[in-house]
Amino acid sequence: MINTLLVANRGEIARRIFRTAHRMGMATVAVYSDADAQSPHVREADQALRLGPAAAQESYLAIDKVLAAARASGADAIHPGYGFLSENAGFAEAVMAAGLTWVGPPPAAIRAMGLKDAAKALMIQAGVPVTPGYHGENQDPGHLAAQAEAIGYPVLIKAVAGGGGKGMRKVEGAADFAEALGAARREAAGAFGDDRVLLETYVARPRHIEVQVFGDSHGQVVHLFERDCSLQRRHQKVIEEAPAPGMSPEVRQAVCAAAVRAAQAVDYVGAGTVEFIADASQGLRADRIWFMEMNTRLQVEHPVTEAVTGQDLVEWQLRVAAGEPLPLRQDQIVLDGWAMEARLYAENPAAGFLPSIGDLEHFVLPDAVRVDTGVEAGGTVSPHYDPMIAKLIAHGPTRQAAARRLAQACGEVQVWPVRTNAGFLARCLVEPEFLAGDVDTGFIGARQDRLTQGAAPSDRVLAAAAQGLLSQAPVAAAEPEGPWGALTGFRLNAPRQGRLRLYRDGGAVEAPLDDGPLSADVLIDAAGAIVVFEAGEAYAFSGTPPLAAAGEGPAGDGVVIAPMPGKVVAVAVKVGDAVTRGQTLVTLEAMKMEHALSAAFDGTVESLVVAVGDQVSEGAVLARLAQAA
């Protein structure tokens, strides 16, 4: 058995693994970058060792530093978590060469499934159906464009290495192919160090179905049923569930059997996920479900499988890595109820899901569901890593019960001043089509405006904000107009009447005055803003009109600024170029994703302040446009 386990990861991933390791009596070792020195995972481990600066390449991805930490700590095993080095065959080999136990699949299996084109060829040999497309070696842009024409638009460009939606682009027509190919290659190279791509036919109503598989070193392979991960935005999962809605026993048997064959084809050991794409235009049918890829690691969404099977998958990993057989036979693994997981991201859905960074002055998560998180109140959301700050997992006897519990939990999230997608998640979970199980990967995109913008603040929110403002400065908060404006507190045997003017997002709103108890949770932040929390949203108000920031021009002045700290990875124009509204000007990489900044109107590029490779801070000017005459 393992005595001391080093987890080569951070945040909620490390904390999740520590939880099981401690229960099993193992000592634990954390590693951390400078950005994570005060993180909870560092405090919770029995030992913690610094790897290096904040940049992942100089810390969490530095194999020599991780191995040095293992030697210094006396660890006898390394768990890679999920992400970072978890699917790096070279890292697995280095761990084993150092005489340590590798908690993961064999390096040969990682390599076999790590390149999507080679994996699909292997799956064809194993009798596993694969998505039609081009998986060849020729990476010449002209050849790829010709293959896309042969497949027929729309097509998907996908990175040969990696996953998680990085290096993936949908292309509607030939005119868009070159730009999409360039963006996909840049993102793939940055995320995986490999810019090769493959092409696939685009499925009009795709469902993302994946099967949890497990193998041991004694030749046994089992599945723990399927998950549905179809609710996505920008090809990244948002809400996952188990089992998949609309999955008949016959189709489940076919898909899970195909997943087991896939694992057996590479002599798989440990936890893995076989991902399929299903054409949902005629419901889930066995002949319309194709292999996409295999993730040779534990997945972010593994808690929903744990909830419906009653198994601890990290414990399975640790036991298998120690040479033990699988804890259960296939006929002993049963489904119980329904589970859903929502990924709570530090991002602003109303601003195109731009990542939100900063200090977590106020951070309250629900306590009625399972919560896996790597941050806490008083901590910081850094620009250096993934923007997911927590996972909320609900289990119930039925799909509707699980959805209700999870929607309520998302509505109870309170985070400030960092923005989150909690309200967006809550709205997704109560959509009638979602509750009916009518989902596909285009679900969010088809309802983008309604789901992302949310509702205007209700009278309940406004009344709570007014009470919060009056509790700060009753006289200053009064309406300025009229001789009686300062007498909002004056009344004889009657409740307070009238309305109070507040300011939100630069505009004025009228709030009803209410003497009753506070009807919503109210926070007065360090800057004096009144923040009201309702249904997962954080509404911020002020009693005075906001002042324009220094150097800030009027709307539409042509100044292109960085919405967050990041690295400039592409500049698509040069000074003097004529541009049209919506045309991409500069592409910024931040928090592991690319963000295209576009022209707000038709005009001419007047100046460019940055070049490819520049690191920029939030609010930095990147370019200026002159409006067309």
| Residue 622 and residue 586 in contact, taking contact as beta carbons nearer than 8 Å | yes
Extract the tokens encoding 435.
Answer: 């509750």
Task: Please count the other Cβ atoms lying within 10 Å of the Cβ belonging to residue 538.
Answer: 22
Distance in angstroms (rounded) separating the CA atoms of residues 588 and 565: 9
First to last CA, the chain: 75
Distance in angstroms (rounded) separating the CA atoms of residues 88 and 34: 23
Task: Please count the other Cβ atoms lying within 10 Å of the Cβ belonging to residue 483.
Answer: 6
Which residue type sits at 573?
V
* Nearest of 72, 95, 99, 77 to residue 85 by alpha carbon: 95
Please confirm, yes or no, whether 297 is among the known catalytic residues.
yes
* Catalytic annotation, pick one of 185, 297, 319, 624: 297
Enumerate residues 6+ apart whose C-beta is below 8 A from 255: 209, 211, 226, 247, 276, 286, 289
- Mapped onto helix, strand or coil, the DSSP state of residue 100 is coil
- Mapped onto helix, strand or coil, the DSSP state of residue 564 is coil
Distance in angstroms (rounded) separating the CA atoms of residues 141 and 212: 36
Handedness of CA 230, 400, 225, 26 (dihedral sign): positive
- Alpha carbon dihedral 115, 119, 122, 127, in 10-degree steps, equals -170
- Mapped onto helix, strand or coil, the DSSP state of residue 562 is coil
What length is written for the chain?
629
- The gap from C-alpha 29 to its chain's centroid, in whole angstroms, comes to 26
Residue 206: strand pairing partners:
279
Enumerate residues 6+ apart whose C-beta is below 8 A from 233: 353, 444, 445
Which residue type sits at 76?
D
Distance in angstroms (rounded) separating the CA atoms of residues 92 and 105: 8
- Mapped onto helix, strand or coil, the DSSP state of residue 135 is coil
Q: Report, as residue numbers or ranges, the catalytic residues.
A: 297
